[in-house]
Structure 1
């Protein structure tokens, strides 16, 4: 049984940034706002310089920056509280900038999805396909929607009327999560089971994590409708915050149908302590447990665009490769060898130097309609210009 495992590189060709690209923009945007009210250093003004040093360190990407702040909090010293609030605000900045990237790359995504028709051929051979994703973006959902592939993400199509004035949502209750009662295809189903392990731009927790909401794009909307639904929530919260003169960290302030203030907690999971139980996390642990459970039946794992930077994922993959008769294929345009921590793995491991576009194109090699040489080169040029633009943000700052 085959499954896909997606990292940031799987969304790269659609315009979303890799970790260091994203870090360039985050550094530039946050550093120029340190004198604004975005971060609150009033309780410890000296921490501002310490935070600026963390941000400016060229050897740290954004998750490592958050990890440094988490470690300062864990030390329980004088800077523990301000390190905590600063880390939460930085994660908010990550969410906002990722959403901005999703909006800015909508047109590119709309064109690139045409190159992924091979997903239908993949489903012919693997009717119930598990796709595990570390990505916060909504690109794979859009790919499935464009190609009319049924996709289930664990959430139930049950509208919670209280929040219907804010956006259209699917839902999952805490009880359903605890019981493993998730809305996925069974073994005889036909479609994609998409399991997002690190949260998503469109997933929120409400009511003290007793209820989870996931945005649903309006029916028959083109690519971009999904991210616009998320944008509606952000705009709703911004309007309320400006009207009341308040702003919370890690959550969106909204009003429900009865006019009562509610708090939608963002699910994005980042930093150095994922799934360790050290910090409160919004991304449901149940999805990680579901991933581990379903991997027990997987014999072939196609890893696309993952840089092997998450220790909790690496340890599980290493253990899985120790089971009999399993294999892993790594798709990465630049990787020349298997990750060192897998040197002693018993399972077969192969490396292929291409990404998600060519992965799907090779599944349907007889269909050249959207994959000409000129088209490929034009997309590569657009993507390179995006990379240079993100790099210039940091170079301009310096």
Structure 2
């Protein structure tokens, strides 16, 4: 039986990463001080990100910050989407559109930094404690290759695969190195990469052999785009020391920089790094967030090769397990619905810790056991499958103790972010 996985935030919940409401809480707390917000707007108003002939303006900056302050929801992506949509309006000035686009990028950087801190903080406090609960990961996989499509930005699926000796690849066929910075070009960071337009035909993916082909549909903290997005760069997964080595490499990647006059050049979504010639270069963070991750039509197009892979593989597999996904992304939902029509043997298992009805987009396929639901977390479901449909009560007790740890991680992330701001 050919299997595939689609992973949402719920998969990484018991490993320490935040759900949307927790991330939103921290993001909103950054803008809780009225006087600090005023200084923030005044400082941004001095910037000229698009050149002197296309100035941004203070009024639009203030409006965007007010949107954040007045937001009462629990989904930061909803908020960012509203701000992003302002940058596309035709009934406002070019300066307003430029301003909203610029502050969206600023907010993007804040979200990215919060997630970085979560990754680094939760690993020693939660992942190392709870990883044994995920030891049955193989029970989710095919005997041959398994395609895993994740909507998460964290690295915990890779960590689990490495720690439990499961072969895993991003499909990368090439290698590239960058100096850590231009102060000492002898220290290098080694990455692997794929050519985006050749992703469909990559020989780096497993085929007819056991292993995981991992595709980060919404980018990731450790994935970077180089040369105008034509190259998808990742940390090497050929590691002998498991997740500790992967996390060490992650810190190295985050440390890549370039200095001018002894001062580190500031970076945002576009990371300023040093190239092999010791010169300033740009590599871009790949994380997708907000309301415009992908287009809404389902035809294959340049720049959406990862979605193309999702469509193609859903037409080939017999079983798709969806874990911890809230069905909030239309570009994913459309492809799920299409696959259920085109692939009559496809069955979907929906695993979520919160009891919910079958999503409307899949209701029409709820016959002949094509849709199966289970109300539990990722780890209990793996254990249930491995133990031939028996629940592991001891495992559940361990996971029930996560609430305190998660609060500790959240408080530490808040403190670390405040110290950096």
TM range (shorter): 0.7 to 0.9
Equivalent position SS for 1:46: helix
Paired residues of 2:172 and 2:204 also in contact (CA < 8 A): yes
User: Cα gap change, 1:296/1:217 in structure 2, threshold over 3 Å: closer, same or farther?
Assistant: closer
Runs (5+) with no aligned partner, structure 2:
47-55, 181-186, 417-421
Correspondence 1:40-51 to 2 at 5 A: 40-42=44-46, 43-51=56-64
Contact 2:86 2:97 in 1 (8 A): yes
Matched, 1:321 2:340: yes
For residues 46-91 of structure 1, the C-alpha deviation after alignment (integer angstroms, 9 at most, x for no partner) is: 2233112221311262111221122111114221001111111211
- Residue equivalent to 2:84: 70
The whole-number CA distance in structure 1 between the counterparts of 2:383 and 2:136 is 6
Structure 1 position 198, deviation (Å): 0.6
When residues 369 and 222 of structure 1 are mapped into structure 2, their CA distance, relative to the original with a 3 A threshold, is farther
Cα-Cα RMSD: 3.1
**Does the CA-based 8 Å contact 1:114-1:370 persist in structure 2?**
no
Q: Give 1:301's match in structure 2, choosing from 320, 342, 364.
A: 320
The CA distance in 2 between the partners of 1:266 and 1:67, in whole Å, is 18
C-alpha displacement at 1:369, in angstroms?
10
> Do structure 1's residue 206 and structure 2's residue 221 form an aligned pair?
no
Residues 1:217 and 1:336: Cα distance change in structure 2 (over 3 Å): closer
Measure how far apart 1:174 and its partner are.
Answer: 4.3
Match of 2:288 among 269, 285, 288: 269
In 2, the alpha carbon distance for the partners of 1:258 and 1:243 equals 18
Q: Does 1:286 align with 2:305?
A: yes
Gapped regions of structure 1 (runs ≥ 5): 394-398
User: Partners of 2:115 and 2:244 in 1: how far apart?
Assistant: 14
Distance 1:13 1:276 in 2: 32
Aligned residue pairs total 384
CA displacement at 1:173 relative to structure 2: 2.5
Deviations 1:4-27 (A, max 9, x none): 110011000111011111111112
Paired residue secondary structure (1:176): helix
* Partner of residue 251, structure 1: 270
Which residue of 36, 49, 65 corresponds with 1:52? 65
Deviations 1:255-285 (A, max 9, x none): 123211111100001111221199xxxx952
SS in 2 for 1:160: strand
Shift of 1:118: 1.3
**Structure 1 residue 389: Cα displacement:** 7.9
1:382 corresponds to which of 395, 401, 405? 405
